[in-house]
Amino acid sequence: MLTKKIAVLFSGGGSNLEAILERLHGKVFGQTKIEVALTLTNKANAGGIAKAAKYGLKSVVIEHVNFASREEFDAAVVEEIKRANVDLTVLAGFMRILTPVFTSQVRAINLHPSLLPLFKGAHAIKESFDSDMKVGGVSVHWVSEELDGGKIIAQRAFEKSAGISFEEFEAKIHAIEHEILPETIVQILTDKE
């Protein structure tokens, strides 16, 4: 059996990290066992740290505020990822704009809470909700030098019902995220390359 290792990078509560740990960590898909080998955050108070600890994982904390430049921060993150010797890096709510120091060295996917190429950046859920579009959705894409601009791997949409509140809209986005991200990871790691 093949073991494939992933790194998960997060900045906040870690609900997507938890979905990955719950659905994938230590589980077997066909002939492939998936292990989360590294959990890393840029915030010492990120809620995801406690979620990783429940699975016996000690998160690496590299606070971006301690670095003079984005490039220096990215270099430190890349070093940790390389040390973990992973097959795939997953950005699950990692709120950092990455430089070529990262993008040129790390095979990574990102979860984004809109139907890309629409609504890039940190305010995607609000912008998508406020738009005239009749659908909302989630994208998973390869990380590239362009913010939220890499090749799209998976997308899932839902109809924006009349009178839906922002909270309901956001909850729908998160529910889809918790399904589509683990599914996409399995698809990538078990694909006959």
Candidate list 25, 112, 141, 178, residue with the active-site label? 112
Full domain range(s) for residue 25: 2-190
pLDDT tens per residue across span 126-143:
999 999 999 999 999 999
Residues of the chain with pLDDT under 70: 192-193
Q: What 3-state class would DSSP assign to 185?
A: helix
What dihedral angle (degrees, nearest 10) is formed by the CA atoms of 106, 109, 112, 115? 120
CB 162 within 8 A of CB 169: no
Q: Is position 112 annotated as part of the catalytic site?
A: yes
Report how many domains make up the chain. Answer: 1
Q: What 3-state class would DSSP assign to 37?
A: strand
**CATH number, residue 30:** 3.40.50.170
CA distances from 21 to 80, 96, 98, 149 (A): 19, 22, 24, 26
Q: Which pLDDT value is given to residue 76?
A: 98
Q: Which letter does DSSP use for residue 99 in this model?
A: P
pLDDT tens per residue across span 107-121:
999 999 999 999 999
3-state helix, strand, coil in the chain (%, to 5): 35, 25, 40
Residue 14 marked in a binding site: yes
Q: Which pLDDT value is given to residue 116?
A: 97
Q: Report the percent of the chain where pLDDT is more than 90.
A: 97
Q: Which two tokens stand for residue 172?
A: 């729908």
Residue 42 marked in a binding site: no
Q: Which pLDDT value is given to residue 115?
A: 97
Residue 97 marked in a binding site: yes
Q: Which pLDDT value is given to residue 191?
A: 83
Q: Which pLDDT value is given to residue 192?
A: 61
CA distances from 26 to 33, 51, 72, 151 (A): 6, 16, 33, 28
